[in-house]
Structure 1
Amino acid sequence: MRNFFCLTAFFAVLSLLNGCKSSKNEAKEITVTWELVSNFTDVPNGFEARFNLVNNGEMTLDDKNWALFFNMSPRPILANKTPQPATVQHINGDWYKMTPNAGFSLASGKSIEVRYTGTEAIIKLTDAPMGLYFVFYDKDGKEENIVEVANFQVLPFVRKDQQLRGKDDQVPLHTAAKRYQDNLALNLLGADQLQKIVPSPVKMTAGAGTLTLDKNYTIYYGTGLENEAKLLSQKLKSVTGTDFTLKNTAPTGPAISLQTGAVSVNGVAKEAYKLDINAKGVTITGSDAAGVFYGIQSLLALVPTENYLKPAASVALGFVQVEDAPRFQFRSMHLDVSRNFQTKETVLRWLDLLAFYKINHFLLYTTEDEGWRLEIDGLPELTQVGGQRQHAPGGMADPVLHPSYGSGPKAYDDTKHGSGFYTKADFIEILKYAKERHIKVIPELNFPGHARAAIKSMEARYNRLMKEGKEKEANEYRLIDPDDKSEYLSAQAYKDNVVSVGRESTYRFYEKVVDEISKMYAEAGLKLDTFHVGGDEVAEGAWTKSPQAAQLLKENPSIKDPKNLQAYFMGKLLERLEKRNLTIHGWEEVALLKSPDGKYLPNPAFVGKKVVPYIWNNIYDLDLGNRLANAGYPVVLCNVTNFYFDLAYNNDPQEPGLYWGAFVDTRANWAFAPFDMFKTTYTTSMGQPLNFAGLEKMKPEARKNVIGLESQLWCETVKGRDMMEYYSLPKLLGFAESAWAAERSWETIENRETREKAIQTGWNRFANSLAQRELPRLAVLNGGYNYRLPLPGAIVENGQLKANIEYPGLSIRYTTDGSEPTAESPLYTAPVNVSGKVKLKSFDAAGRSSRTMSPDDVK
């Protein structure tokens, strides 16, 4: 794929990167430091920050020969109230630059400070500038060299005014003392009290006795179950070292029997199964192949964690009978590989994990403003341009994708995650791999907003074909109105990410991509019957100064307002996709209209037309999911306060992630009442109470319209496999419980105090099960995953250390000499007298550990 660069722009940047050696070498001697000064500013919820530049080289920086480019979590920048030697300005998306003001000079051995202010307070190290690089200019103002900053430091956030988002932030700081206090509500449970299978089966009855599973057993499978038998054999070999014989016959002798039959649990037949372990062997009966597959996952879950950590020739399985079926037929996870790319191998590993926890859909988000990740026949620019990011000398006007999320100035930088795409063969392999694990991959092409990668790719195509004199072909898939002067700023701060809804080529492009993806499904032996159209976050102001949009409004006076052009677009797109017999999924906006005052209202036009909105917004429009379900739409709930894995676990500055909608931990994933969402979300992202008075509740007859749940991993701050897994684990396990397990008793308790007690009892059991069973297994399952372990809670009172942990069953190790705790450090079991610099870590049975902390780690 490295041969598919946007050649003209790439070689221009390459010449700059290899240009003027002296400035390149000198620039490496410039040290840059960034500090968050405070979030308590004159601007409500704003921030003040400063750069400090130190010139350790010989070259003098003046007011014309340099600029500093970088990415940071997108926020509007305000004009400086006091004169500064340089100006920080927003370019587009999360791309910023610092340029010198008149009279600027930074000579050898000197330093200079540049302050700036903005809106939306900063509390995370992952919000800080990243991917910094200098561009140096010659005397005529032309770029002559690009140099990445080699010496960059972000100062730690240690004060309250750096850790809270101004005076309105009511979320308590995540101190060691707060953790200790919170963890007092949990207690250690014995092995017999743990949840044996995650997610919980509908019914599980333990028997008296133990089956020893060893090489004497054969896997017998019925017709159509060869795939399931092979996968079971592979998994059992990983814990026993034994190659189990497979036979497509009736069982004889010691047997693991896989078969289909009439199975229905709680009135649900699809994906239902029964698992029986007794003295005769193991029998799994599924209503279909998927049911058998999920019975296998439950069998593998019952294998003791010790066998995963230390494989042995035999496995002891307690006698048990399990009857199980999912609460929701649609259980999905969304993965964004556009903001930061994830390799095919990472995706395949992830599909294995989704299957283990009975997740049966996978929304693969391969197009966005910042990247196009899927090869499409006939449109090579989509990956030549859209599959990579690099410095854009002409800024927004260039038909390239500029750096985002710290991807730096070079395309295909092996140390970064901005560039990459899946070939057709890669995608087909992903589809087949998912199919074997009973996971349906849903592709997404997000229009009319979030479309910058497609727009820039098709502009590159347009330019190429126009140079070749092929004007008709050049316009065939063009996506913009070239005369559009509309001004807007998207949710991710883009100014140019919305397609023209007034040109036929926009729809033609969409159909072309859908048809090419459909061919890939056919090559994988599948039929594309569900497509996600995105449809979210079109910014106010889009299309307001577009001649093409004005003509469309003139020809269709019923549209009335540019605000409604999004609904018009979805209607026209739906007509075309209906001809392909596709069920259309999309973010909630696909089912909404905007009132003149900007309020979202259910759009009755698409009810009954195979349109499925995904509802994320339960924090700004609290009852939106209820209103759409009540209006007759089949909905997927993906509430931001519960299921957004990219939102940080807490407000610790070192804990990565976003926080615009909430802080989301594993308990939030686990504690979700789908038919009464008000029961588990009580505050805004700023910790202020929510008011549900007068809001619409879900009608009992509308519950059938909730077809399922989805978890989300947006990857603005996620770089590479390890971060992806850290963000998602163990959150995925809490989500799986909400998506599969039967209704929990606390979901119907109206009294909040009584309900919270019941929730805490259930959560305590789940947290114990995470610590003692699930997490250590993840250390080795499928080669091992990079899951997160919580920091201990701790206080020191009168010289005595008291510590506890969020997941009882994890061990706590400590030191008192300032050294890093290891698995050999003293084990904390009870309050102990200490002196000196105390440090602690949590450990699990696999030897994995948390970050290091001290009782006074947060001021």
Structure 2
Amino acid sequence: MTMSTDLVPAPRELRTGPAGPVRLGPGTRLAAGPGTEGVARRLRETLGAATGLPLADGDGPERIELAVDPGLPAEGYRLATGERHVRIGGGSPAGVFWGTQTLRQLLGPDAFRRAPVRPDRVWELPRVTVEDAPRFRWRGLMLDVARHFLPKDGVLRYLDLMAAHKLNVFHFHLTDDQGWRIEIERYPELTATGAWRPRTKWGHRASPLWDDKPHGGFYTQDDIREIVAYAAERHITVVPEIDVPGHSQAAIAAYPELGNTDVVDTSALGVWDTWGISPNVLAPTEHTLRFYEGVFEELLALFPGEFIHVGGDECPKDQWRRSAVAKARTEDLKLPNEDALQSWFIGHFASWLAARGRRLIGWDEILEGGLAPGAAVSSWRGYQGGVAAARAGHDVVMCPEQYVYLDHRQDGGADEPVPIGYVRTLEDVYRFEPVPAELTEEEAGRVLGTQANVWTEVMESPARVDYQTFPRLAAFAEVAWSPLPAPARRDFAAFERRMTGHYRRLDALGVSYRPPAGPRPWQRRPGVLGRPLDGPPPNR
């Protein structure tokens, strides 16, 4: 067996030791130190299943040893292979867990399978020492399940894929114009009505094609509890997103009084069946505020993390400009215009969440009109939202669409399925630098990290989600985890060489990624209209 030390994401330091492998066998024990018991369970579930080795509890000369070492960075780890044993120390259980993901990579692609493919296999590791820690504390993936619903098993699978790439924040986009995907017990129509649309646009919104089959689905609160617990076992935090005040037509279809009823017959609205930005937005009324406070109260009981995402993007103001109710609210609050009204709306929930020990985060439009202290910003319209937020004292997650919107097509060729957005290649994602160069050192400290976003308007199946997400998510994971080399330019040729082995890991995981040579015949979607944009190349 040929052993490889080609790791993705690349570690801070890897040193090779004496010649000769370290072998794991039926007698290899798993010695879990205090605080690592959960990591040991996960390792036995994954590595034990792939290898067929029992990895029994206990100490001995042949062992995998897990230990918390407070001297290491919180998510950092040190993996060292000796003559007959492996030791993984981490600054926290999370650090130990990330070390076990490196262990799996060192054992080869078959360590990512769910059962042994060769029962007589001899499992060998190279003699190495790996010292590693992440560059950013927020290493995120946003998955849109509102446009196309992904059943629970698919969500759990993506949490496993995130863990294998050392990503630790799952941004769960649960609501939009095209569907409401989370059970809210006090408002049952949100899922009874809002989770289903009668048909779906096939391709870009300008496409004449339709899928006339109803589409929908939602997660029960027990599903959500399971997803959150599953993520926590993999040291991933789930950040839910409930979109307000725009991207809310599904909610208005379920409860028409949430809309601007004095200018639109909201009782006639259904869940939106096409793409783009719906003009139907929430009314800025006390009833709407109380309704969504009820939604967020149930969310807080389900999601224990620090942040709640409220969207806040792409909210057309036309209905507010025509609405006497919205105009009266603007005048009562002595606001200059409707843009300030949206700022007031977002500010209300920032204060409401802060009073309950949580923090609001939203897309960079929430900066317009001012933002409450403590709120954070997802910078998606380029770098400038992140720059403005950091300079104003707000924490930032960098996710500019020019680099890390993985719904954008990966190549300009005619074979790409439903070509959307700008061409963003594997190398473009790999070249992405999350920290804007114009920030001072203090301002740069406001950059919590970075996130890749997967919007699913044209991703009608899990296989399509895989195709758009991989292999670019592997490049993104390295941007989020690995240190920026000096000078500040990553070696893409070296990354491509390491990806040769990583494609085999993705194969073992069953990922339907885009091959380097282009889409396979069954990955193409001929004749479906996309939205090709010929924007400027990345400028950073």
Question: Normalising by the residue count of structure 1, what TM-score does the alignment of the two structures yield?
Answer: 0.56
* Pair 1:851–1:315, CA change in 2 (3 A): farther
**Distance in 2 of aligned mates of 1:352 and 1:495:** 34
The answer to whether structure 1 residue 580 and structure 2 residue 356 are counterparts is yes
**Distance in 2 of aligned mates of 1:279 and 1:318:** 10
- Contact kept? 1:336, 1:714, Cα under 8 Å: yes
- Correspondence for 1:340: 148
- 1:623-664 Cα deviation digits (max 9, x unpaired): 33223222221100001121111100022233125543x211
- Contact kept? 2:259, 2:280, Cα under 8 Å: no
* SS in structure 1 of the partner of residue 196 of structure 2: coil
- 1:273-294 Cα deviation digits (max 9, x unpaired): 1111111410011111001100
The correspondence of residues 35-114 of structure 1 with structure 2, limited to 5 A, is: none
Equivalent of residue 80 in structure 2, options 265, 270, 276: 276
- Correspondence for 2:536: none
- Correspondence for 2:507: 779
- Correspondence for 1:379: 187
* SS in structure 1 of the partner of residue 280 of structure 2: coil
* Pair 1:658–1:638, CA change in 2 (3 A): farther
**Distance in 2 of aligned mates of 1:367 and 1:331:** 22
* SS in structure 1 of the partner of residue 439 of structure 2: coil
**Distance in 2 of aligned mates of 1:426 and 1:407:** 30
Amino acid aligned to 1:484 = V
Kindly state the Cα deviation for residue 729 of structure 1 after the two structures are TM-superposed.
Answer: 0.7
- Correspondence for 1:665: 425
Amino acid aligned to 1:203 = E
- 1:7-66 Cα deviation digits (max 9, x unpaired): xxxxxxxxxxxxxxxxxxxxxxxxxxxxxxxxxxxxxxxxxxxxxxxxxxxxxxxxxxxx
Equivalent of residue 213 in structure 1, options 6, 20, 24: 24
Kindly state the Cα deviation for residue 850 of structure 1 after the two structures are TM-superposed.
Answer: 8.3
* Pair 1:307–1:362, CA change in 2 (3 A): closer
* SS in structure 2 of the partner of residue 245 of structure 1: coil
Equivalent of residue 726 in structure 1, options 467, 484, 490: 467
Equivalent of residue 285 in structure 1, options 73, 89, 92: 89
The correspondence of residues 838-857 of structure 1 with structure 2, limited to 5 A, is: none
* Pair 1:631–1:718, CA change in 2 (3 A): same
The correspondence of residues 103-252 of structure 1 with structure 2, limited to 5 A, is: 196-209=6-19, 210-247=21-58, 251-252=59-60
Equivalent of residue 493 in structure 2, options 764, 768, 777: 764
- Correspondence for 1:655: 416
Kindly state the Cα deviation for residue 410 of structure 1 after the two structures are TM-superposed.
Answer: 4.3
The correspondence of residues 454-533 of structure 1 with structure 2, limited to 5 A, is: 454-459=251-256, 478-484=257-263, 492-501=275-284, 503-521=285-303, 527-533=304-310
Equivalent of residue 321 in structure 2, options 526, 540, 544: 544
* Pair 1:638–1:257, CA change in 2 (3 A): same
Equivalent of residue 642 in structure 1, options 403, 422, 438: 403
The answer to whether structure 1 residue 611 and structure 2 residue 363 are counterparts is no
* Pair 1:535–1:495, CA change in 2 (3 A): closer
- Correspondence for 1:444: 241
Where relative contact order (Cα < 8 A, 6+ residues apart) is larger, the structure is 2
Equivalent of residue 674 in structure 1, options 427, 434, 437: 434
Kindly state the Cα deviation for residue 263 of structure 1 after the two structures are TM-superposed.
Answer: 3.0
Kindly state the Cα deviation for residue 563 of structure 1 after the two structures are TM-superposed.
Answer: 2.3
**Distance in 1 of aligned mates of 2:442 and 2:5:** 32
Kindly state the Cα deviation for residue 321 of structure 1 after the two structures are TM-superposed.
Answer: 0.7
Equivalent of residue 314 in structure 1, options 89, 101, 122: 122
Kindly state the Cα deviation for residue 849 of structure 1 after the two structures are TM-superposed.
Answer: 10
- Contact kept? 1:789, 1:850, Cα under 8 Å: no
* Pair 1:708–1:346, CA change in 2 (3 A): same
The answer to whether structure 1 residue 453 and structure 2 residue 246 are counterparts is no
- Contact kept? 2:238, 2:305, Cα under 8 Å: no
- Correspondence for 1:50: none
Kindly state the Cα deviation for residue 579 of structure 1 after the two structures are TM-superposed.
Answer: 1.8
* SS in structure 2 of the partner of residue 544 of structure 1: helix
- Contact kept? 1:263, 1:274, Cα under 8 Å: no
- Contact kept? 1:789, 1:849, Cα under 8 Å: no
- Contact kept? 1:627, 1:698, Cα under 8 Å: no
* SS in structure 2 of the partner of residue 446 of structure 1: strand
Question: Normalising by the residue count of structure 2, what TM-score does the alignment of the two structures yield?
Answer: 0.88
- 1:574-619 Cα deviation digits (max 9, x unpaired): 22222221111111111223xxxxxxxxx3x42xx2211000112x
Kindly state the Cα deviation for residue 421 of structure 1 after the two structures are TM-superposed.
Answer: 0.9
The answer to whether structure 1 residue 560 and structure 2 residue 336 are counterparts is yes
**Distance in 2 of aligned mates of 1:454 and 1:851:** 34
**Distance in 1 of aligned mates of 2:260 and 2:367:** 26
- Contact kept? 2:313, 2:364, Cα under 8 Å: yes
**Distance in 2 of aligned mates of 1:278 and 1:236:** 19
- 1:306-337 Cα deviation digits (max 9, x unpaired): 66685454211111111111100111100000
What runs of 5+ residues in structure 2 fail to find an aligned partner? 266-271, 526-540
* SS in structure 1 of the partner of residue 160 of structure 2: helix
Task: Give the total of aligned pairs.
Answer: 507
* SS in structure 1 of the partner of residue 216 of structure 2: coil
- Contact kept? 1:303, 1:315, Cα under 8 Å: yes
Equivalent of residue 713 in structure 1, options 454, 476, 496: 454
* SS in structure 2 of the partner of residue 554 of structure 1: helix
* SS in structure 2 of the partner of residue 531 of structure 1: strand
* SS in structure 2 of the partner of residue 766 of structure 1: helix
- Contact kept? 2:146, 2:180, Cα under 8 Å: yes
Equivalent of residue 788 in structure 1, options 514, 517, 539: 514
* SS in structure 1 of the partner of residue 175 of structure 2: coil
Kindly state the Cα deviation for residue 238 of structure 1 after the two structures are TM-superposed.
Answer: 3.5
Kindly state the Cα deviation for residue 698 of structure 1 after the two structures are TM-superposed.
Answer: 1.7
- Correspondence for 2:225: 428
Kindly state the Cα deviation for residue 529 of structure 1 after the two structures are TM-superposed.
Answer: 3.1
Kindly state the Cα deviation for residue 567 of structure 1 after the two structures are TM-superposed.
Answer: 0.7
- Correspondence for 1:366: 174
Kindly state the Cα deviation for residue 391 of structure 1 after the two structures are TM-superposed.
Answer: 6.1
- Correspondence for 1:177: none
Kindly state the Cα deviation for residue 528 of structure 1 after the two structures are TM-superposed.
Answer: 4.4
- Contact kept? 1:214, 1:240, Cα under 8 Å: no
Amino acid aligned to 1:740 = W
- Contact kept? 2:104, 2:112, Cα under 8 Å: no
* Pair 1:298–1:219, CA change in 2 (3 A): same
**Distance in 2 of aligned mates of 1:383 and 1:343:** 15
- Correspondence for 2:528: none
**Distance in 2 of aligned mates of 1:528 and 1:363:** 11
* Pair 1:495–1:196, CA change in 2 (3 A): closer
Amino acid aligned to 1:425 = D
Q: What is the aligned-residue identity percentage?
A: 31
**Distance in 1 of aligned mates of 2:80 and 2:280:** 55
